[in-house]
Amino acid sequence: KKSPPATDFDQLILLRRRELDALRSKSRVRLGSCLQSWGQLKNHLGFSLHSELANYLLQR
């Protein structure tokens, strides 16, 4: 089945989503192979958010 043609509103939503994704990607930190260790440390120290762990480490 073919999708119905995108409306101007749909295109506006898609554009806004892409803009927000671009902004979010500027603040991302790539952990690569350390992701599992990061998660373990976050849980061990009792943080529920990654940003809490990052802030804690930056303040030390």
Q: pLDDT tens across 16-58, in order?
A: 999 999 999 998 899 999 999 999 999 999 999 999 999 999 9
Residue 9, pLDDT score: 87
Judge if pTM exceeds 0.85: no
Q: Which residue has the tokens 């690569």?
A: 32
Residue 43, pLDDT score: 98
For 17-40, b/e burial (b = at least 16 CB within 10 A) is eeeeeeeeeeeeeeeeeeeeebee
pLDDT at residue 6 greater than cutoff 80: no
pLDDT at residue 1 greater than cutoff 90: no
pLDDT at residue 2 greater than cutoff 80: no
